[in-house]
A = this chain, B = another copy of it.
Protein backbone atom coordinates (compact mmCIF):
# COMPACT_ATOMS: atom_id res chain seq x y z
CA UNK A 1 0.00 0.00 0.00
CA UNK A 2 1.20 3.49 -0.89
CA UNK A 3 2.49 5.53 1.99
CA UNK A 4 0.81 8.82 2.75
CA UNK A 5 2.69 11.78 1.39
CA UNK A 6 3.00 14.97 3.37
CA UNK A 7 0.40 16.63 1.20
CA UNK A 8 -2.19 14.11 2.34
CA UNK A 9 -1.65 14.72 6.06
CA UNK A 10 -4.38 16.45 8.02
CA UNK A 11 -4.69 20.23 7.91
CA UNK A 12 -5.54 22.63 10.73
CA UNK A 13 -8.84 24.46 10.42
CA UNK A 14 -10.86 26.92 12.41
CA UNK A 15 -13.85 25.90 14.46
CA UNK A 16 -12.19 23.64 17.02
CA UNK A 17 -12.76 24.65 20.64
CA UNK A 18 -10.47 21.81 21.71
CA UNK A 19 -7.61 23.36 19.80
CA UNK A 20 -8.52 26.82 21.12
CA UNK A 21 -8.34 25.60 24.72
CA UNK A 22 -4.93 24.09 24.09
CA UNK A 23 -3.64 27.33 22.55
CA UNK A 24 -5.17 29.68 25.13
CA UNK A 25 -5.52 27.70 28.37
CA UNK A 26 -6.01 30.81 30.53
CA UNK A 27 -8.59 32.53 28.33
CA UNK A 28 -11.94 33.41 29.91
CA UNK A 29 -14.60 30.89 28.86
CA UNK A 30 -16.75 30.34 26.96
CA UNK A 31 -14.78 31.17 23.85
CA UNK A 32 -16.33 33.55 21.35
CA UNK A 33 -15.62 31.50 18.26
CA UNK A 34 -15.08 33.76 15.26
CA UNK A 35 -12.64 31.31 13.66
CA UNK A 36 -15.05 30.04 11.00
CA UNK A 37 -17.18 31.55 8.26
CA UNK A 38 -20.26 29.77 9.58
CA UNK A 39 -23.36 31.92 10.08
CA UNK A 40 -23.87 32.36 13.85
CA UNK A 41 -27.63 32.80 13.27
CA UNK A 42 -28.63 29.19 12.61
CA UNK A 43 -31.74 28.31 10.69
CA UNK A 44 -34.40 27.79 13.43
CA UNK A 45 -34.05 24.37 15.02
CA UNK A 46 -37.12 22.13 15.09
CA UNK A 47 -38.03 18.73 16.49
CA UNK A 48 -37.06 15.96 14.14
CA UNK A 49 -39.53 13.13 13.54
CA UNK A 50 -38.20 10.01 15.32
CA UNK A 51 -38.11 8.23 11.97
CA UNK A 52 -35.46 10.69 10.75
CA UNK A 53 -33.13 8.95 13.18
CA UNK A 54 -34.53 5.43 13.28
CA UNK A 55 -35.32 4.63 9.65
CA UNK A 56 -33.09 4.46 6.60
CA UNK A 57 -33.29 7.73 4.66
CA UNK A 58 -35.95 7.44 1.92
CA UNK A 59 -34.94 7.70 -1.74
CA UNK A 60 -38.02 9.88 -2.36
CA UNK A 61 -36.88 12.38 0.25
CA UNK A 62 -33.40 12.53 -1.27
CA UNK A 63 -34.94 13.31 -4.65
CA UNK A 64 -37.07 16.04 -3.06
CA UNK A 65 -33.91 17.52 -1.55
CA UNK A 66 -32.13 17.43 -4.92
CA UNK A 67 -35.07 19.22 -6.55
CA UNK A 68 -35.14 21.92 -3.89
CA UNK A 69 -31.36 22.32 -4.03
CA UNK A 70 -31.45 22.69 -7.82
CA UNK A 71 -33.98 25.52 -7.44
CA UNK A 72 -32.16 27.19 -4.54
CA UNK A 73 -28.76 27.14 -6.24
CA UNK A 74 -29.94 27.62 -9.82
CA UNK A 75 -28.75 24.27 -11.20
CA UNK A 76 -30.47 23.08 -14.40
CA UNK A 77 -32.36 20.23 -12.67
CA UNK A 78 -32.30 17.70 -9.82
CA UNK A 79 -30.44 15.33 -12.14
CA UNK A 80 -27.54 17.79 -12.06
CA UNK A 81 -27.28 17.59 -8.24
CA UNK A 82 -25.39 15.06 -6.11
CA UNK A 83 -26.13 15.43 -2.40
CA UNK A 84 -23.49 14.34 0.10
CA UNK A 85 -22.82 14.33 3.84
CA UNK A 86 -20.90 17.59 3.60
CA UNK A 87 -18.92 19.06 0.72
CA UNK A 88 -15.70 17.92 2.36
CA UNK A 89 -16.22 14.21 1.69
CA UNK A 90 -16.91 15.02 -1.99
CA UNK A 91 -13.54 16.67 -2.61
CA UNK A 92 -11.41 13.56 -3.29
CA UNK A 93 -14.25 12.04 -5.33
CA UNK A 94 -14.56 15.17 -7.46
CA UNK A 95 -10.78 15.38 -7.89
CA UNK A 96 -10.83 11.74 -9.06
CA UNK A 97 -13.25 12.55 -11.89
CA UNK A 98 -10.20 13.23 -14.05
CA UNK A 99 -7.30 10.82 -14.48
CA UNK A 100 -4.29 11.65 -12.28
CA UNK A 101 -2.50 14.56 -13.90
CA UNK A 102 -1.69 18.15 -13.08
CA UNK A 103 -3.94 19.78 -10.50
CA UNK A 104 -3.65 23.53 -10.04
CA UNK A 105 -5.35 25.30 -7.15
CA UNK A 106 -5.81 29.06 -7.24
CA UNK A 107 -4.40 30.16 -3.92
CA UNK A 108 -3.98 30.99 -1.23
CA UNK A 109 -7.29 29.30 -0.43
CA UNK A 110 -9.02 26.55 1.55
CA UNK A 111 -6.28 23.97 2.13
CA UNK A 112 -8.42 20.85 1.69
CA UNK A 113 -8.55 21.23 -2.09
CA UNK A 114 -4.83 20.56 -2.49
CA UNK A 115 -5.04 17.65 -0.03
CA UNK A 116 -7.99 16.10 -1.87
CA UNK A 117 -6.30 16.42 -5.27
CA UNK A 118 -3.18 14.74 -3.87
CA UNK A 119 -5.30 11.90 -2.47
CA UNK A 120 -6.79 11.43 -5.93
CA UNK A 121 -3.27 10.97 -7.29
CA UNK A 122 -2.69 14.34 -8.93
CA UNK A 123 0.54 16.31 -8.89
CA UNK A 124 -0.69 19.42 -7.12
CA UNK A 125 0.57 22.98 -7.23
CA UNK A 126 -0.85 26.25 -6.00
CA UNK A 127 -0.87 29.13 -8.44
CA UNK A 128 -1.51 32.78 -7.65
CA UNK A 129 -2.56 33.77 -11.17
CA UNK A 130 -5.97 32.85 -12.56
CA UNK A 131 -4.61 32.61 -16.12
CA UNK A 132 -2.21 29.85 -15.06
CA UNK A 133 -5.16 27.50 -14.33
CA UNK A 134 -5.58 26.84 -18.06
CA UNK A 135 -2.49 24.62 -17.91
CA UNK A 136 -4.22 22.19 -15.52
CA UNK A 137 -5.99 18.88 -15.99
CA UNK A 138 -7.87 19.71 -12.82
CA UNK A 139 -8.27 23.39 -11.94
CA UNK A 140 -9.75 24.34 -8.57
CA UNK A 141 -10.78 27.69 -7.23
CA UNK A 142 -13.04 29.01 -4.49
CA UNK A 143 -15.46 31.77 -5.53
CA UNK A 144 -15.82 34.02 -3.62
CA UNK A 145 -12.47 32.98 -2.22
CA UNK A 146 -11.83 31.91 1.34
CA UNK A 147 -10.26 33.74 3.16
CA UNK A 148 -9.83 36.93 1.11
CA UNK A 149 -13.20 37.15 -0.64
CA UNK A 150 -11.68 37.61 -4.11
CA UNK A 151 -14.28 37.08 -6.85
CA UNK A 152 -13.50 35.72 -10.31
CA UNK A 153 -16.01 36.93 -12.88
CA UNK A 154 -18.28 34.46 -14.57
CA UNK A 155 -17.11 35.30 -18.11
CA UNK A 156 -13.55 34.37 -17.18
CA UNK A 157 -14.71 31.17 -15.51
CA UNK A 158 -16.73 30.09 -18.53
CA UNK A 159 -13.78 30.75 -20.79
CA UNK A 160 -11.50 28.69 -18.57
CA UNK A 161 -14.08 25.89 -18.37
CA UNK A 162 -14.33 25.74 -22.16
CA UNK A 163 -10.57 25.51 -22.52
CA UNK A 164 -10.31 22.74 -19.94
CA UNK A 165 -13.31 20.85 -21.33
CA UNK A 166 -11.79 20.89 -24.83
CA UNK A 167 -8.83 18.86 -23.57
CA UNK A 168 -10.78 16.58 -21.20
CA UNK A 169 -9.96 18.58 -18.10
CA UNK A 170 -12.21 19.75 -15.28
CA UNK A 171 -12.86 23.04 -13.54
CA UNK A 172 -14.00 22.79 -9.92
CA UNK A 173 -15.55 25.94 -8.47
CA UNK A 174 -16.13 25.77 -4.73
CA UNK A 175 -19.00 28.18 -4.07
CA UNK A 176 -19.08 27.46 -0.34
CA UNK A 177 -19.84 31.13 0.41
CA UNK A 178 -21.81 32.00 -2.74
CA UNK A 179 -25.09 32.01 -0.74
CA UNK A 180 -24.14 35.56 0.21
CA UNK A 181 -23.21 36.38 -3.38
CA UNK A 182 -22.24 37.75 -5.79
CA UNK A 183 -24.66 35.24 -7.32
CA UNK A 184 -24.28 36.71 -10.82
CA UNK A 185 -20.85 35.06 -10.87
CA UNK A 186 -22.10 31.62 -9.85
CA UNK A 187 -21.60 28.79 -12.35
CA UNK A 188 -24.46 26.73 -10.88
CA UNK A 189 -26.56 27.23 -13.99
CA UNK A 190 -23.70 26.41 -16.35
CA UNK A 191 -22.81 22.86 -15.35
CA UNK A 192 -24.97 21.14 -17.96
CA UNK A 193 -22.37 21.12 -20.71
CA UNK A 194 -19.83 19.24 -18.59
CA UNK A 195 -16.28 20.09 -17.61
CA UNK A 196 -17.44 22.05 -14.56
CA UNK A 197 -18.31 20.90 -11.05
CA UNK A 198 -19.73 23.48 -8.65
CA UNK A 199 -19.63 22.72 -4.92
CA UNK A 200 -22.22 24.22 -2.59
CA UNK A 201 -22.16 23.99 1.19
CA UNK A 202 -25.35 23.86 3.25
CA UNK A 203 -23.88 24.29 6.72
CA UNK A 204 -22.20 27.67 6.35
CA UNK A 205 -25.01 30.01 5.29
CA UNK A 206 -27.67 28.12 7.26
CA UNK A 207 -25.43 27.92 10.34
CA UNK A 208 -25.85 24.16 10.56
CA UNK A 209 -22.33 22.84 10.08
CA UNK A 210 -22.93 19.84 12.36
CA UNK A 211 -25.69 18.49 10.13
CA UNK A 212 -23.20 17.69 7.34
CA UNK A 213 -24.78 18.44 3.99
CA UNK A 214 -23.18 19.57 0.76
CA UNK A 215 -23.80 19.36 -2.96
CA UNK A 216 -21.95 18.88 -6.19
CA UNK A 217 -23.64 20.46 -9.22
CA UNK A 218 -22.48 18.89 -12.46
CA UNK A 219 -23.57 17.52 -15.82
CA UNK A 220 -25.99 14.59 -15.49
CA UNK A 221 -23.46 11.82 -16.07
CA UNK A 222 -21.00 13.27 -13.57
CA UNK A 223 -23.73 13.77 -10.97
CA UNK A 224 -24.72 10.14 -11.50
CA UNK A 225 -21.12 8.99 -11.09
CA UNK A 226 -20.81 10.90 -7.83
CA UNK A 227 -24.13 9.49 -6.61
CA UNK A 228 -22.84 5.99 -7.38
CA UNK A 229 -19.68 6.63 -5.34
CA UNK A 230 -21.71 7.89 -2.40
CA UNK A 231 -24.17 4.99 -2.54
CA UNK A 232 -27.71 4.98 -1.17
CA UNK A 233 -28.41 6.71 2.17
CA UNK A 234 -25.37 9.01 2.00
CA UNK A 235 -27.38 11.90 3.42
CA UNK A 236 -28.56 11.32 7.01
CA UNK A 237 -32.16 11.75 8.13
CA UNK A 238 -31.55 15.01 10.04
CA UNK A 239 -29.71 16.49 7.03
CA UNK A 240 -32.61 15.58 4.74
CA UNK A 241 -35.12 17.22 7.10
CA UNK A 242 -33.14 20.42 7.57
CA UNK A 243 -32.01 20.59 3.95
CA UNK A 244 -35.54 20.31 2.56
CA UNK A 245 -37.00 22.83 4.97
CA UNK A 246 -34.22 25.44 4.95
CA UNK A 247 -33.39 25.40 1.23
CA UNK A 248 -37.05 25.94 0.35
CA UNK A 249 -37.46 28.79 2.86
CA UNK A 250 -36.66 31.63 0.49
CA UNK A 251 -38.05 34.27 2.86
CA UNK A 252 -35.61 33.27 5.61
CA UNK A 253 -32.79 33.26 3.08
CA UNK A 254 -33.58 36.75 1.80
CA UNK A 255 -33.88 38.18 5.33
CA UNK A 256 -30.67 36.47 6.38
CA UNK A 257 -28.69 37.84 3.46
CA UNK A 258 -29.68 41.37 4.51
CA UNK A 259 -28.94 40.70 8.15
CA UNK A 260 -25.48 39.33 7.34
CA UNK A 261 -24.65 42.40 5.24
CA UNK A 262 -25.59 44.60 8.23
CA UNK A 263 -23.55 42.43 10.62
CA UNK A 264 -20.52 42.53 8.34
CA UNK A 265 -20.73 46.34 8.08
CA UNK A 266 -20.98 46.53 11.86
CA UNK A 267 -17.87 44.37 12.11
CA UNK A 268 -16.01 46.65 9.68
CA UNK A 269 -16.98 49.69 11.75
CA UNK A 270 -15.90 48.04 15.00
CA UNK A 271 -12.55 46.95 13.58
CA UNK A 272 -12.08 50.42 12.10
CA UNK A 273 -12.54 52.05 15.51
CA UNK A 274 -9.49 50.09 16.68
CA UNK A 275 -7.49 50.80 13.52
CA UNK A 276 -7.69 47.24 12.26
CA UNK A 277 -7.86 47.46 8.45
CA UNK A 278 -10.29 45.17 6.59
CA UNK A 279 -8.78 43.92 3.34
CA UNK A 280 -11.61 41.79 1.95
CA UNK A 281 -14.02 38.98 2.73
CA UNK A 282 -17.70 38.16 2.29
CA UNK A 283 -20.78 38.86 4.42
CA UNK A 284 -19.92 35.72 6.43
CA UNK A 285 -16.35 36.69 7.32
CA UNK A 286 -13.86 39.49 6.93
CA UNK A 287 -10.24 39.23 5.87
CA UNK A 288 -7.52 41.17 7.65
CA UNK A 289 -4.04 41.66 6.30
CA UNK A 290 -1.65 43.81 8.32
CA UNK A 291 1.70 43.63 10.08
CA UNK A 292 0.34 43.10 13.59
CA UNK A 293 -2.06 40.29 12.66
CA UNK A 294 -0.29 37.58 14.64
CA UNK A 295 -0.10 39.81 17.72
CA UNK A 296 -3.81 40.55 17.41
CA UNK A 297 -4.55 36.84 17.04
CA UNK A 298 -2.80 36.10 20.35
CA UNK A 299 -4.29 39.10 22.14
CA UNK A 300 -7.83 38.19 21.11
CA UNK A 301 -7.25 34.52 21.94
CA UNK A 302 -6.04 35.34 25.42
CA UNK A 303 -9.25 37.32 25.89
CA UNK A 304 -11.25 34.28 24.78
CA UNK A 305 -12.03 35.55 21.28
CA UNK A 306 -10.94 33.09 18.66
CA UNK A 307 -10.21 34.17 15.08
CA UNK A 308 -8.60 32.21 12.26
CA UNK A 309 -4.90 32.53 11.65
CA UNK A 310 -2.82 30.81 8.99
CA UNK A 311 0.46 29.17 9.91
CA UNK A 312 2.20 30.07 6.67
CA UNK A 313 0.87 33.64 6.46
CA UNK A 314 1.30 35.33 9.85
CA UNK A 315 0.18 38.69 8.50
CA UNK A 316 -3.40 37.63 7.70
CA UNK A 317 -6.47 36.72 9.75
CA UNK A 318 -10.05 35.76 9.00
CA UNK A 319 -12.74 36.87 11.40
CA UNK A 320 -16.33 35.61 11.49
CA UNK A 321 -19.44 37.37 12.75
CA UNK A 322 -20.34 37.55 16.44
CA UNK A 323 -23.71 35.94 17.05
CA UNK A 324 -25.10 37.88 20.00
CA UNK A 325 -24.73 41.26 21.73
CA UNK A 326 -22.68 39.52 24.41
CA UNK A 327 -20.30 38.26 21.74
CA UNK A 328 -20.05 41.70 20.12
CA UNK A 329 -19.17 43.14 23.53
CA UNK A 330 -16.55 40.45 24.19
CA UNK A 331 -14.96 41.25 20.82
CA UNK A 332 -15.04 44.97 21.49
CA UNK A 333 -13.56 44.46 24.95
CA UNK A 334 -10.80 42.28 23.55
CA UNK A 335 -9.96 44.85 20.88
CA UNK A 336 -9.96 47.65 23.44
CA UNK A 337 -7.68 45.65 25.73
CA UNK A 338 -5.29 44.98 22.87
CA UNK A 339 -5.08 48.66 21.95
CA UNK A 340 -4.64 49.70 25.60
CA UNK A 341 -1.81 47.21 26.16
CA UNK A 342 -0.16 48.32 22.93
CA UNK A 343 -0.26 51.96 23.98
CA UNK A 344 1.05 51.12 27.44
CA UNK A 345 3.96 49.09 26.07
CA UNK A 346 7.38 50.77 26.56
CA UNK A 347 8.46 52.58 23.45
CA UNK A 348 11.95 52.16 22.09
CA UNK A 349 14.15 55.17 22.73
CA UNK A 350 14.27 57.53 19.82
CA UNK A 351 10.84 56.55 18.47
Contacts and interface: CB of A to CB of B under 8 A. Distances in A.
Task: Specify which of A8, A115, A212 lies most central, judged by the most chain B CB atoms within 10 Å of its CB.
Answer: A212
A119 B231 CA distance: 10
A335 interface: no
A234 B88 contact: yes
Nearest to A50: B45
Interface stretch (A173-181, A202-210, A270-278): A202-210
Interface in A307-349: none
A210 B228 contact: no
A62 to B, nearest CB: 10
Interface in A161-210: 203, 207-210
Interface stretch (A89-97, A134-142, A149-157): A89-97
A211 interface: yes
Given A51-B210, A212-B236, A236-B238, 11 more contacts: A4-B225, A9-B228, A10-B228, A13-B232, A53-B208, A54-B209, A86-B233, A92-B229, A119-B229, A212-B234, A238-B238
Contact of A237 (B4, B13, B55, B210): B210
Contacts of A212: 57, 85, 233-237
B54 A210 contact: yes
A145 interface: no
Given A56-B16, A233-B88, A237-B210, A224 B4 contact: yes
B59 A19 contact: yes
Contacts of A60: 16, 18
A133 B232 CA distance: 27
Interface string A1-18: 101100011110101111
A83 B51 CA distance: 23
A240 to B, nearest CB: 8
27 contacts: A1-B222, A1-B225, A3-B221, A4-B224, A10-B232, A13-B232, A16-B58, A18-B59, A38-B55, A42-B53, A42-B54, A52-B210, A53-B210, A53-B211, A53-B242, A54-B208, A56-B203, A85-B85, A92-B229, A92-B231, A112-B231, A116-B231, A210-B237, A210-B238, A212-B233, A212-B235, A236-B239
A247 interface: no
A25 to B, nearest CB: 15
A17 B58 contact: yes
A109 interface: no
Interface of A: 1, 3-4, 8-11, 13, 15-19, 33, 36, 38, 42, 45, 50-60, 85-86, 88-89, 91-92, 97, 112, 115-116, 119, 203, 207-212, 221-222, 224-225, 228-239, 242
A1 B221 contact: yes
A53 B45 contact: yes
A15 B58 CA distance: 8
Nearest to A11: B232
Nearest to A33: B55
A57 B56 CA distance: 22
A211 B57 CA distance: 9
